[in-house]
């Protein structure tokens, strides 16, 4: 059986800042309003974000956090609760952004990792959906 966490740790985490940066930049290109959630670089044109250290740092945070959730193999309710609390109440990120970034991540991995991702893609998308659904549930309680 394919293991999303193993794939993630072997193929994405080793270059977390670069992969995360590229995924975030794709999000900002598709939805420029998403930049508004990141005060450190919200006023920088998307075309200039590739060399921005704050974007790379945030990208690494996103990649590593997702890796930690994937390692829990669906047993992540308490972690999702804490994440929902911070993202809803502190960062003011609408829950609709999670499925969006997962879709972008899926497309990015198809392009950048290719065959290795194709073997795990279905399982990864199930994991992404579980996380997004869990966050949606948790957003209702925080």
Q: Dump pLDDT digits (tens) for 49-98.
A: 999 999 999 999 999 999 999 998 877 788 999 999 999 999 999 999 99
First-to-last CA distance in the chain?
35
For residue 116, give the CATH number of its domain: 1.10.490.10
- pLDDT for the residue numbered 37: 94
Q: What is the pLDDT of residue 140?
A: 95
Q: Over 90: is that where the pLDDT of 44 sits? A: yes
- Residue 17, pLDDT > 90, answer yes
Q: CB-based contacts of 129: which residues, under 8 Å, 6+ apart? A: 99, 102
Number of domains comprising the chain: 1
Q: Give residue 78's pLDDT.
A: 85
Each residue of 101-125: pLDDT tens digit?
999 999 999 999 989 999 999 999 9
Q: What rounded mean pLDDT belongs to the chain?
A: 94
Q: Which long-range contacts (CB under 8 A, 24 or more apart) does 111-119 make?
A: 112/19, 112/22, 113/11, 113/12, 116/7, 116/11, 117/7, 117/11, 119/2
Q: What is the pLDDT of residue 77?
A: 85
Cβ atoms < 10 Å from Cβ of 21: 25
> Domain span at residue 105?
4-139
CB 83 within 8 A of CB 136: no
């Amino acid at each position: 059986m394919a293991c999303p966490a193993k794939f993630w740790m072997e193929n994405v985490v080793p270059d977390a800042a670069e992969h995360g940066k590229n995924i975030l930049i794709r999000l900002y290109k598709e939805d420029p309003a998403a930049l508004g959630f990141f005060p450190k670089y919200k006023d920088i044109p998307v075309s200039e974000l590739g060399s921005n250290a704050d974007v790379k740092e945030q990208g690494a945070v996103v990649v590593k956090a997702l890796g930690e959730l994937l390692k829990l193999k669906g047993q992540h309710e308490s972690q999702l609760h804490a994440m929902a609390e911070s993202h809803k109440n502190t960062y003011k990120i609408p829950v609709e952004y999670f499925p969006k970034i997962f879709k972008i991540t899926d497309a990015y991995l198809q392009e950048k990792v290719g065959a290795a991702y194709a073997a795990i893609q279905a399982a990864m998308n199930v994991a992404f959906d579980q996380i997004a659904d869990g966050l949606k549930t948790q957003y209702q309680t925080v």
